[in-house]
């Protein structure tokens, strides 16, 4: 790929330093994605300008006018402190007719609401857990059709925010308590869905119209304490010490029959078409003991640090990290060309 001018957008707190020297592993873990992307793209010959964006669009406009990027690498996950506004920045980039990486605004909106995403994919014959949504300021009452146990999450936030062992509830009292926790601590509506006992499966996908499904990946929970449920809590996903202490690992899913693997891969493509996901995405499933893959959520623009599951899955499929990032750039530019955008 020829050298490009790349404007990289991220939160101001995540603009990476020039070097890792002097930083602890915990400090690096906060902005590892930004560091990996910036350093790798520069190593591949691209000119990269990181820009911290929080609550104003003007810095983006000024950077586009002065830097004149060939493409914007979008690593923003929120705007004005709200995850639900992430699509607004991408919509602005479309209005400025500048190519950008990752998912389009429509896909971000459809995937952000876990309830809407589940309804849409269920209509297209993808198994989903039964669920109910509990808006803020409303009394928590479990619908009779929804049987316990349930797992309670934020309706809009991702990255396992607010998920702990207490998220799995087995009584109506515990349900009300956890929904209140989500309302008060996370500040969003809550979704309670049927808890699926099974394996935690992630599948990366790369592409716009023609999608490349990456190897099926699994989160292995290691030596969990007795009575601990195998769920992707905040500690499991982000606490390095906890992961090392309990042997939490990710890797290729083993022991899947060809039929189950083919079914999951087919579902991934159907989900991406249904939710209009392009660029790159990760689809999360719970694989029940009877072999049924239940769709949990779609993650457009997932974590792409070098050591995380998306990049490792791509590496397992023969796509080295610099090639992965170049492919993500190419997909953004190709979408702009197809839509008649100027570069």
Distance CA 4, CA 144 (A): 56
Which has more pLDDT, 17 or 85?
Answer: 17
Question: Would 343 be classed as within a structural domain?
Answer: no
For residue 174, give its domain range: 131-194
Question: Would 160 be classed as within a structural domain?
Answer: yes
Question: Would 325 be classed as within a structural domain?
Answer: no
Query: How much is the average pLDDT of 162-172?
Result: 95
Q: Residues 40, 160: one domain?
A: no
Distance CA 244, CA 235 (A): 11
Q: Residues 189, 210: one domain?
A: no
Q: Residues 118, 230: one domain?
A: yes
Question: Would 122 be classed as within a structural domain?
Answer: yes
Pairing of strands 71-74, 5-10: parallel
Question: Would 324 be classed as within a structural domain?
Answer: no
Q: Residues 231, 162: one domain?
A: no
Q: Residues 257, 121: one domain?
A: yes
Percent of the chain with pLDDT strictly greater than 90:
84
Q: Residues 258, 245: one domain?
A: yes
Q: Residues 298, 154: one domain?
A: no
3-state SS string for 123-134: HCCCCCCCEEEE
Q: Residues 114, 262: one domain?
A: yes
Query: How much is the average pLDDT of 200-209?
Result: 97
Taking the complete model, does pTM exceed 0.75, yes or no?
yes
Question: Would 327 be classed as within a structural domain?
Answer: no
Q: Residues 161, 204: one domain?
A: no
What CATH number is given to the structural domain containing 51?
3.40.50.20
Q: Residues 31, 93: one domain?
A: yes
Q: Residues 189, 266: one domain?
A: no
Query: Environment class of residue 39 by beta-carbon count within 10 Å: exposed (0-12), middle (13-18) or buried (19+)?
Result: middle
Distance CA 46, CA 50 (A): 12
Query: How much is the average pLDDT of 218-243?
Result: 87
Check whether 332 has a pLDDT greater than 80: yes
How much is the pLDDT for 244?
Answer: 87
Q: Residues 215, 309: one domain?
A: yes
What CATH number is given to the structural domain containing 293?
3.30.470.20
Count of the separate structural domains present in the chain? 3
């Amino acid at each position: 790929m020829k050298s490009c001018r790349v404007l990289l957008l991220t939160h101001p707190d995540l603009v990476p330093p020039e070097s890792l020297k002097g930083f602890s592993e915990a400090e690096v873990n906060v902005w590892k994605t930004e560091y990996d992307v910036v350093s790798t793209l520069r190593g591949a010959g691209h000119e990269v300008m990181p820009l911290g964006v929080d609550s104003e669009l003007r810095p983006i406009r000024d950077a586009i006018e002065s830097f004149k990027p060939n493409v914007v690498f979008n690593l923003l996950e929120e705007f004005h402190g709200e995850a639900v506004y992430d699509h607004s920045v991408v919509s602005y980039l479309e209005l400025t007719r500048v190519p950008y990486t990752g998912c389009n605004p429509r896909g971000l909106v459809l995937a952000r609401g876990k309830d809407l995403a589940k309804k849409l994919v269920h209509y297209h014959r993808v198994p989903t857990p039964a669920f109910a949504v509990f808006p803020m300021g409303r009394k928590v009452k479990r619908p009779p059709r929804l049987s316990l146990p349930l797992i309670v999450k934020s309706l809009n936030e991702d990255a396992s925010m607010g998920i702990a062992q207490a998220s799995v509830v087995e009584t109506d009292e515990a349900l009300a308590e956890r929904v209140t926790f989500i309302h008060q601590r996370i500040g969003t509506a809550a979704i309670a869905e049927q808890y699926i006992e099974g394996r935690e499966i992630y599948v990366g996908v790369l592409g716009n119209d023609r999608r490349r499904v990456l190897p099926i990946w699994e989160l292995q929970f290691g030596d969990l304490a007795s009575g601990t449920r195998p769920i992707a809590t905040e500690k499991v996903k982000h606490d390095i010490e906890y992961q090392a202490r309990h042997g939490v690992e990710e890797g290729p899913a083993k022991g899947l029959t060809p039929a189950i693997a083919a079914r999951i891969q087919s579902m991934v493509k159907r989900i991406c078409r249904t939710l209009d996901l392009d660029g790159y995405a990760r689809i999360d499933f719970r694989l029940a003991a009877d072999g049924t893959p239940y769709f949990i959520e779609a993650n457009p623009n997932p974590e792409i640090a070098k050591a995380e599951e998306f990049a490792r899955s791509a590496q397992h499929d023969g796509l080295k990290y610099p090639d992965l990032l170049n492919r993500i750039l190419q997909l953004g530019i190709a979408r702009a060309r197809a839509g008649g955008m100027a570069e």
